[in-house]
Amino acid sequence: MATFQFPNQTQFYKGKVRDVYSIGTDTLVMVASNRISAFDVILPKPIPYKGQVLNQIAAYMLQATQDICKNWLLNVPAPHVSIGKKCEPFKIEMVVRGNLTGHAWRTYQSGQRKLCGIVLPEGMKENDFFPTPIITPSTKAVEGHDEDISKETIISKGLATEVDWSVLENYALRLFERGKQLAAKRGLILVDTKYEFGKIADDIYLMDEIHTPDSSRYFYADGFDERQQKGEKQKQLSKEFVREWLIANHFMGKPGEIVPEMTDEWINTISNRYIELYEQLIGEAFIPQQISDTDTYAKIMDALKKLGVYH
């Protein structure tokens, strides 16, 4: 994927999976690549159509939640590109969990009963529903791993004021509830997810992607209760299967560990799982689109002109 240069470009940031361009002071162009990361490490080979899947799910979900809170998105000029408002981000991620899964389960399994200052009930099994969804925020690390943080620490460190926190908490729980409703219509359970927020003046905006397989975990609702009763693994659509494959091959992003070889067959499997999630979640056939860098640039420029960024 080429690196572009736009008129009046003020900043460029190459993230783990996206390239982000700042135009002037108010506009962002976000290009979703086919890179894939796990344990905060970019894996060596790209996944076909992953960028398109993530970008199109995010656009769909931002549209479906815009009555809950303002969001950054203005235009989707290409399948893997979004243009939106530049916000001043909160340096935290709002992680909402409906079930005891993933990091929360690993913490629980180790004997701890507190996560981000929240006391977890006794007697829970992996993947059980919490009595009500919980928010377990994490810091946004520029390098290395994000770390768990409590509401009290967020406020005491000035990462958010008490007033802003109450808004973030309210938005995150309402967005999660909407995400669960949308998933339920498609036979899925939204298990956990993360939201990122920022500010423009005094207004709080939802940023980035939401309810995608990179930021969320989904279980199939059909057979969920039976699998729980039998202690079986839940059937899921998320990136967790990639993490599980890495763990099984002795890689968790720790120093000295080597990423296992990704065969063409395994890369196709991952790509197909992303497409499966798109079709399951959106309820439409996925139409793979390959657009050249030249056409992508032209579409972005055209959209920026229509948005009045360039005169």
Check if the beta carbon of residue 205 is closer than 8 Å to that of residue 72. Answer: yes
The strand pairing partners of 9, in sequence order, are: 23
- Residues whose CB falls within 8 Å of the CB of residue 178, separated by 6 or more in sequence, listed in order: 64, 65, 68
Mean pLDDT (whole number) for 110-135: 97
Domains of the chain in sequence order: 9-88+265-306 (3.30.200.20), 90-238 (3.30.470.20)
Calpha distance 193→213 (Å, rounded) = 9
Q: Tell me the residue type at 49.
A: Y
Mean pLDDT (whole number) for 136-163: 89
| Banded model confidence at residue 145, pLDDT cuts 50, 70, 90 | low
Q: What is the pLDDT of residue 40?
A: 83
Query: Is 237's pLDDT higher than 90?
Result: no
The strand pairing partners of 216, in sequence order, are: 193
Angle at 26 (CA atoms; ends 92, 1), nearest 5 degrees: 75
pLDDT tens, residue by residue, 37-53: 988 889 999 999 999 99
Query: Is 143's pLDDT higher than 70?
Result: no
Check if the beta carbon of residue 159 is closer than 8 Å to that of residue 59. Answer: no
Check if the beta carbon of residue 147 is closer than 8 Å to that of residue 138. Answer: yes
**Closest by Cα among 56, 31, 93 to 293:** 31
Distances (CA, A) of 228 to 97, 127, 145, 236: 17, 8, 31, 13
Q: Which two tokens stand for residue 2?
A: 């080429």
Per DSSP, the residues of 123-167 read: T--TTPEEEEEEE--EE--SSS---B--HHHHHHTTSS-HHHHHH
Q: What is the pLDDT of residue 157?
A: 95
Distances (CA, A) of 305 to 6, 71, 75, 188: 12, 21, 12, 39
Q: Which two tokens stand for residue 74?
A: 């203005």
Asked whether the CA dihedral 12, 18, 23, 28 is positive or negative, the reply is negative
Alpha helix positions (H), the chain? 50-64, 103-109, 151-156, 162-185, 224-230, 240-248, 264-282, 293-306
pLDDT tens, residue by residue, 179-212: 999 999 999 999 999 999 999 999 999 999 999 9
Mean pLDDT (whole number) for 296-307: 97
Calpha distance 89→39 (Å, rounded) = 22
Calpha distance 65→208 (Å, rounded) = 13
170 phi, psi to nearest 5 deg: -60, -50
Least confident of 146-155, 231-240, 263-272: 231-240
| Banded model confidence at residue 63, pLDDT cuts 50, 70, 90 | very high
- Contacts of 236-244 with CB under 8 Å at 24 or more apart are 236/191, 237/188, 237/213, 237/273, 237/276, 237/277, 237/280, 237/281, 238/191, 238/213, 238/277, 239/36, 239/38, 239/213, 239/214, 240/102, 241/273, 242/36, 242/38, 242/43, 242/270, 243/38, 243/39
Least confident of 177-191, 212-226, 237-251, 271-285: 237-251
Element (H, E) at 214: none
Q: What is the 3-state secondary structure (H, E, C) of 71-93?
A: ECEEEEEECCEEEEECCEECCEE
- pTM equals 0.92
Average predicted confidence (pLDDT) for the chain? 94
